[in-house]
Amino acid sequence: MADAYTRFIRSAPGGMLAKQLGLPRPSRLLRRDDRPEPVLGPVVVLGASAGADAVAHRLLEDGADVRRRVEDLRSIGSVIVVADELSAPAELGPLLLPLAGAMRSLAPGARLVTISRPATGEEPARDAARGGVEGFLRSVAHEMRGGATANGILLADGVGVDAPGAVGALRFFLSARSAFITGQLLTVSTEAGSTTENASLPLAGRTALVTGAARGIGAAIARTLAADGARLVVLDVPGAGTELARLANELRAIPLQLDVTSADAGRRVVEFLREKGLTLDVLVLNAGITRDKLFANMTPDRWDPVLAVNITSQIALTEALLEAQGEGGGVLGAQPRIVSLASTSGIAGNRGQTNYAASKAGVMAFVDALSGRLAPLGGTANAVAPGFIETEMTAKIPPLTREVARRVNSLQQGGLPVDVAEAIAFLASDEAGGVQGETLRVCGQNMVGK
């Protein structure tokens, strides 16, 4: 679903004009249907630690074409830089510079992934080296071409490179499912989780509820979770009943018409799940609205509904589910996964969106706090923060503003609803069990924020 500018630029005359004028030339992103193989090879593993050896061995077990040097390779599909044992900044050069001469050999849609550890504030030289990896990753992501991406995995001290969460994050970033994610660092904080036995149906046997599911990103989330094997409950307001019924029929899902801001919404969801005999394994809190206005003109009728739908309803629904769990008639399964929709507006702010940004920043703080309450259940809570995504809502933005918004990221294009859905499906999987309280940006490395 390329926009008009991108379609023109990908034509022969358009490409020539863009090159002459220095205009953005967005590359076609290879998504799941375009590149089904889990790892684009050959894959080069850089690093001299035991962790690097373990990563190389694991990839070999997965059937990847693994190399330990970049020299003499005409084309490189993936690069993994294992920097899990750095102790000083002087070690960065020997580790990273071998890759410099091979950057032009990266294949279209290539993947670069760093594996390192976060700074802890305990050892200055070691923390400086760890911080250096993050700076390198965010900068090199701006230099990737041909739809290639660069992302990082931060392993908390004590978490091994072969921990399920580390392996799961690596698989996700290497796959085509992360096509619109670049310049991001995802922390794996615990050894929890398990590797997926059925790679094609990672959510098989699990039940997921998606709010705001009738259209747009919500419908894409429902379709992706269904494709991954999940049984679905799709929820939206009564006014979207026709679209909701159509989606439910398509996916053989169970529809639920409900306004999530109603005072009894949580109780009604719990009762509905009990009536249907369902145990909820995955909850995707996607329902959201905008009521944009400059703050000088902001009024309660624009502020209150946005906060009510985007964050207050999320808190109320999860509280109802957790309270039911404590009553003995719980409706949450073992190791429940909760994924909320945040936004880059909640990270960097956005003109005319003080209400929306407040609600989405609240979502990120909410999942961070909620993750601690779910941990005793073996569960997780995380968020996904989309940037500019091609939807009916963004299609209503004035043309010039919309065109600028598309280009101010490293991939120079808008994302698709499926890009958000793929990130949510990963965070809902067993392989993301070590990821807690994180917000993963799906924005093509938007130039604002982190």
Token pair listed for 350: 């956005």
Residue 5 catalytic? no
Strand order in the sheet with 380-386: 254-257, 231-236, 207-211, 280-285, 332-341, 380-386, 439-442
Token pair listed for 415: 């994302």
Distance CA 170, CA 118 (A): 16
Give the side-chain half-sphere CA count within 13 A for 102. Answer: 23
Indicate the helix (H) or strand (E) that contains 211.
Answer: strand 207-211
Distance CA 76, CA 67 (A): 10
In the set 136, 172, 303, 356, the catalytic residue is 356
125, 207, 244, 255, 280 from 277: Cα distances, Å: 55, 11, 21, 15, 10
Three-state SS at 185: strand
Strands (DSSP E) contained in 51-100 are: 66-67, 76-82
Report whether 429 contacts 409 (CB < 8 A): no
Distance CA 354, CA 345 (A): 9
Looking up tokens 């504030």 gives 121
How do 254-257 and 280-285 pair as beta strands? unpaired
Report whether 173 contacts 192 (CB < 8 A): no
Active-site annotation, residues = 356
